[in-house]
Structure 1
Amino acid sequence: MNPHEHPELDAFLASLERGRLLSGTVAAIEQFGVFVKLDDGPDHPSFPGVGFISPPELSWRWISSTSEAVEIGQRVTAEFLQYDTWNMEARLPLRATQPDPFQAFADDVTVGQELRGRVTKLVPFGVFVEVADGINGFVHKDDFTAEPTQVGEELAVVVIEIDREQHRLRLSAR
């Protein structure tokens, strides 16, 4: 898309500063992201909204579908991340305005601590275990005494690593 063909939209997007809060209404939900019609600024010439939220930026929690995080017509407020000059849209990380549950969890847990959890996903190299609401850790297949066989199975696990930056929790089930 050529910014010169849409000078009002280009000027609006170029004027935005990283971290500015923008509000609007969810206009469309697609598997690849969510379009937001912003309260301020012009309409987009091709998309249902000038704001765009990619799936990883919708929520701190794991979601299998964008429609799990928002619904059409919902009011949202998000921080401006960047001006996507290719699509002429404002990239909005919605989760940046929400508390990060992983950090709160990491404040209360220590390496070596035993937890109980429920298997949420089986993969060839291990399993994911939900140890708190929306907090999943990973148990590598080498860290089992007896590997779980189904989703929903309860496990006793031990925290072996907490990576706050990557939001990763490594567990053992030995």
Structure 2
Amino acid sequence: MFLKSLRPGQAVTGAVIEIADTVVFVDVDGFTARIRQPELSWRWIGTPEDLVRVGQEITAAVLGTDLVREELYLSPRALQDNPLEQLATRVGESVDGVVTRVLPFGLLVRIEDRPDGLQGLVPAAESAGGAVQVGDGLTVRILEVDLARQRFVLSCR
């Protein structure tokens, strides 16, 4: 049986057959595989359609199998480099960013010039004060990268 031959971490390729709200279904050798939205990418995406299309071929790592239901669980993200690992080597550096959200407890700032760019939090205590709006450019310093929680903290000071 195909499913019994698969091992966690093994790379498989299939075609996207359906996209639901938070799950992508992929046909892998006649078995329906599931990819939950967080497993699609290390980067933030609004909906799975932002990243994949029906009919698209996708390669992903096996997360696990359910032999009773004959289902396969996959993760393309597991085959990608985690961008926060690279960012962790840059703690203390200043970078340019754009404000993406103004929140009561701080600002979300995208530090990469791309729609799915990494977004970090500038806590209210680390802001420079003054009126800031979505779309404003800021120079921020990378204070901390928490790989376990997949978050990073920035400062305007």
Structure 1 length normalisation: TM-score? 0.78
Residues 11-52 of structure 1 deviation map (CA, whole Å, 9 limit, x = unaligned): 5434421111111001111112100011x2x34xxxxxx111
CA distance in 1, matches of 2:51, 2:44: 10
**Aligned amino acid, residue 84 of structure 2:** F
The answer to whether 1:76 aligns with 2:66 is: no
What is the match of residue 76 of structure 2?
94
The answer to whether 1:155 aligns with 2:145 is: no
CA distance in 1, matches of 2:131, 2:2: 53
Specify the SS of the correspondent of 2:124.
strand
Specify the SS of the correspondent of 1:92.
strand
Match of 1:164 among 141, 147, 152: 147
Task: Tell me, yes or no, if the aligned pair for 2:34 and 2:72 is still in contact at 8 Å.
Answer: yes
Residues 104-142 of structure 1 deviation map (CA, whole Å, 9 limit, x = unaligned): 2333x123x222210122333222111124222111122
Match of 1:57 among 29, 34, 39: 39
Specify the SS of the correspondent of 2:44.
coil
CA distance in 2, matches of 1:150, 1:88: 50
Superposed CA RMSD in Å reads 2.0
Where in structure 1 are there 5+ consecutive unaligned residues? 1-10, 44-49
What is the match of residue 111 of structure 2?
131
Q: Kindly tell me the number of residue pairs found equivalent between the two proteins.
A: 154
What is the match of residue 3 of structure 1?
none
Task: Tell me, yes or no, if the aligned pair for 1:141 and 1:147 is still in contact at 8 Å.
Answer: no
* Alpha carbons of structure 1 residues 147 and 73: separation in structure 2 relative to 1, 3 Å: farther
Larger of the two Rg values belongs to structure: 1
* Alpha carbons of structure 1 residues 115 and 21: separation in structure 2 relative to 1, 3 Å: same
CA distance in 1, matches of 2:44, 2:99: 14
CA distance in 1, matches of 2:131, 2:20: 34
**Aligned amino acid, residue 17 of structure 2:** A
1:1-20 to 2 correspondences below 5 Å: 11-20=1-10
Deviation for aligned residue 1:66: 0.8
CA distance in 1, matches of 2:14, 2:21: 20
**Aligned amino acid, residue 154 of structure 1:** G
**Aligned amino acid, residue 122 of structure 1:** V
Segments of 4+ in structure 1 off by > 3 A? 84-88
CA distance in 2, matches of 1:78, 1:148: 44
* Alpha carbons of structure 1 residues 163 and 86: separation in structure 2 relative to 1, 3 Å: farther
What is the match of residue 35 of structure 1?
25
Match of 2:96 among 88, 110, 116: 116
